[in-house]
Amino acid sequence: MNHNQKLTSRIGLAQRAGKLVMGEEGVIKAIRNGEAYAVIIVRDASENTRKKISDKCASYGVPLLEILDRYELGACTGKDVRVSAAVTDEGFARMIQESAKQYTEVDGID
């Protein structure tokens, strides 16, 4: 299993366990309520969405992972297209962050 597959399978597992909040408004609400342990935003998100979510993560001290694209995030969560997701479980957040780090190191993605 390559690093991308490991990453997407862990995100999918979190989704099936009900530990992902999807969509910009839901993600921002999860950050504000202290429910988000990590936030995923796709690399091809709009500047407006990226700024809104990254500012909120910065002010609440939530790790922000800029990974995948909107189709990859959608596919691994069983949806068509997704731009952002908040991970609401500490264990899943740790696993996804670990996979994201390996994914970006190995594949040379910033």
Per-residue pLDDT tens digits for 27-59: 999 999 999 999 999 999 999 999 999 999 999
Per the rule left: phi > 0, alpha: psi between -120 and 50, beta: everything else, 81 is beta
What proportion of the chain, given as a percentage, has pLDDT over 70? 92
Looking at the whole model, is its pTM more than 0.85? yes
Residue 81 CA to its chain's centroid (Å): 13
Beta bridge partners, 39, equal 64, 86
Structural domains in the chain? 3-107 (3.30.1330.30)
